[in-house]
Structure 1
Amino acid sequence: MPDFAFEAIGTAWTVSTAEPLTDQLRTAVLELVAAYDGTYSRFRQDSVIFPLAAAPGTVNLPRSAAALFSLFDTLHRLSGGAVNPLVGHSLERLGYDAAYSFSSAGPSPAPDWPAAASWQALGDRTVLSTSVPVTLDIGAAGKGQLVDLVFALLRRAGHRELTVDAGSDLRHAGSGPLRIALEHPYDPARAIGVVPLQGRALCASAANRRQWGDGLHHIVNALTGRSVDSVAATWVLADDAMTADGLATALFFTDPGTLAENFAFDYVRMFSDGRAAFSPSMAGVLFS
């Protein structure tokens, strides 16, 4: 498949299609990704959500925000509050801030969601209102949603055989499956198994991806403001990348059976001591 590769939102993207993308479509993909980053980035002072960190307020978000925050509502409830899009302040306190200082000031629990913020769909827009200053961080599911939005753009343009890969988040369509290695979280040169991906999304989350200091990384329990230390990595197969991405994060805090009450998915979860748990259909993908 011809590839279209670029760097955006802090990761490497590869869009693979059976037929080459036109220059117009490549530009449309880049503009879509740039607009998403310009809306949600907590690292950019010109982003839509950036002013909410300084003072309570109201911002208009794209129509797709309704689905994103609906997913956060559900994951927040099922995780008992551990998954929370207001966790950005906790990440900043731990050193993962706009300046990338990586200097920790100690844990700080995130404001409650949705008590500190509310959203409502108004026609084709979504309005997000906050009652206190909040630092929004949609990293738990946002990259997956952006993969879905790029995927949908390409499908509308007539592409039927394609893969959108944004770092560890992929969505595939086509007649032949892809073989995707599950990277060992403690040794990037090794894999703990191989997953066949066809017509679904595969998203991974790992504590080693953005790690600094002693035990500090980007997967933070919003209830405590601390990085998770019991789970090392997760992988989730689902019908769309936003759901797979959100569930891959939620599995750091939540029992798979609890999540399965609301979602259909397959998973592998690797604990910090090297043990792995997985859904029945994933048993054959792991190496012994």
Structure 2
Amino acid sequence: MAGSSRGTGEAWRFEAIGTRWEVVTARALGKSERAEVGRLIERFDAEWSRFRPDSTVSLLATDGGSRPAPGDAALLLDAYVELSAATAGAVNPLVGESLVRLGYDSSYSLTPGEAVAAPADWTRRLSWDDGALRLDGPGVIDVGALGKGRLVDLVLDLVIAMAPGDVVVDAGGDLAVRGEPQRVGLEHPFDPRRVVGVWEVTDAALCASGITRRAWGDGLHHVLDARTGAPVRTVAATWAVAADAMRADAVATALFFDGGPRIAFDWHVEWVRMTTDGRVEWSPGCSAELFTRPASVGS
């Protein structure tokens, strides 16, 4: 949903967590440095991926119970509490079972069944205190609303520590920039040959989400309303710029629902979104250069 123009530097491209990464640095990362980045991504995947049977969340899925909490469990799940409140329950980390029922499961069967709502009382069923991640009974934790953004932040911090200077970390269009500004095209959700605008990102992160990525079957896609378990139908694509990629990623998800603009305002996040009927909306003071500007949306 987004593509950026790169400045000068050394680009390292690789595949991880089901997406294509590009890390651009002033000097090429050495073999040992790349291996360290790989280990960081592997650790995160081993904790949060619902697509691998040995991950922390997969081991909790069948019967629940308690497992040692990942180090960033509080950061991610506390953010989910705010997202859930802002969207009246539409964003919920126990939406994983809803995705599985629609065919977006660990084997990528893409064979849809009946939609099922995520547990509305998820904060009672899921806890993350005293160094433990606990789930009261079976359930599938999915941190997809902000997990990739969090991983981008982690990789960015590690790369900057190893190779100070201008850095871009891009994970399938969700990117963080330090140093030289990057001009990012906002890909039209229904025509990848076009963009709806350009956003210059400086010392910040831009994340995007859209219904045409990870889509299958008859109108099915990965952005679900947790209250119904059904895909969102009114918003086609979202883009958000924040100081860090985790919050940009989270707001890009929240913008599929009515409460998205409010939490974006509270978190000081700029945004753009396109509805399925072709309208483009944006936050007050948004710095994106949009090619269609019919109306802005207040906070």
What TM-score do the two structures reach when normalised by structure 2?
0.91
1:167 equivalent in structure 2: 172
Q: Percent identity?
A: 46
Point out where structure 1 has 5 or more consecutive residues left out of the alignment: none
Q: Does 1:264 align with 2:240?
A: no
Q: Residue 137 of structure 1 corresponds to which residue in structure 2?
A: 142
Q: Is the 8 A contact 2:88 2:259 kept in 1?
A: no
Deviation at 1:22, TM superposition (A): 1.8
Determine whether 1:287 maps to 2:287. Answer: no
Q: Deviations over 1:214-240 (max 9, x none)?
A: 121000011100000000000000000
Instruction: Tell me the SS of whatever aligns to 1:214.
Output: coil
- Structure 1 residues 284 and 79 mapped into 2: Cα distance closer, same or farther (>3 Å)? closer
1:94-143 superposed Cα distances (whole Å, 9 cap, x missing partner): 111112111111110011321211111x4xxx421111211011111000
Q: Which residues of 2 match residues 112-261 of structure 1 at below 5 A?
A: 112-120=121-129, 122=130, 126-174=131-179, 176-261=180-265
Q: What does residue 6 of structure 1 align with?
A: 14
* Residues in 2 aligned to 1:274 and 1:48: alpha-carbon distance in whole angstroms: 40
Task: Kindly provide the CA deviation profile for residues 245-278 of structure 1, in whole angstroms up to 9, marking residues without a partner as x.
Answer: 0110011013344214531010001000000100
* Equivalent-residue separation in structure 1 for 2:21 and 2:193 (angstroms): 20
The CA distance in 2 between the partners of 1:196 and 1:257, in whole Å, is 21
Preserved CA contact (<8 Å) 2:29 2:163:
no
Q: What is the Cα deviation at residue 74 of structure 1?
A: 0.8
Of stretches 56-65 and 35-44 in structure 1, the one that deviates more from structure 2 is: 56-65
1:67 to 65, 75, 89: 75
CA distance in 2, matches of 1:171, 1:149: 10
Once residues 79 and 35 of structure 2 are traced to their aligned partners in structure 1, the CA distance between those partners, rounded to angstroms, is 29
2:51 aligns to what SS in structure 1? coil
Alpha-carbon distance in 2 for matches of 1:228, 1:161: 37
Supply the RMSD in Å over aligned alpha carbons.
Answer: 1.3
Deviation string, structure 1 residues 26-57 (Cα, Å, up to 9, x no partner): 10001111111111111111112112211021
Q: How many residues align?
A: 283
Distance 1:160 1:65 in 2: 30
Give the 3 Å change call, closer, same or farther, for CA 152–251 of structure 1 in structure 2: same
Return the alpha-carbon distance in structure 2 between the equivalents of residues 162 and 281 of structure 1. 26
After TM superposition, the score normalised by the length of structure 1 is: 0.95
- For the 8 Å contact 1:236–1:248, the answer to whether it is kept is yes
| Change in CA separation of 1:130 and 1:284 when aligned onto 2, cut-off 3 Å | closer
Q: Distance in 2 between matches of 1:45 and 1:91?
A: 16
Q: 1:23 and 2:28 equivalent?
A: no
What SS does the aligned partner of 2:83 have? helix
Q: Structure 1 CA distance, aligned partners of 2:250 and 2:266?
A: 13
Asked if the contact 2:264/2:270 (under 8 Å) is kept, the reply is no
3-state SS, counterpart of residue 249 of structure 2: helix
Segments of structure 2 that go 5 or more residues without pairing to the other structure are 1-8, 293-299
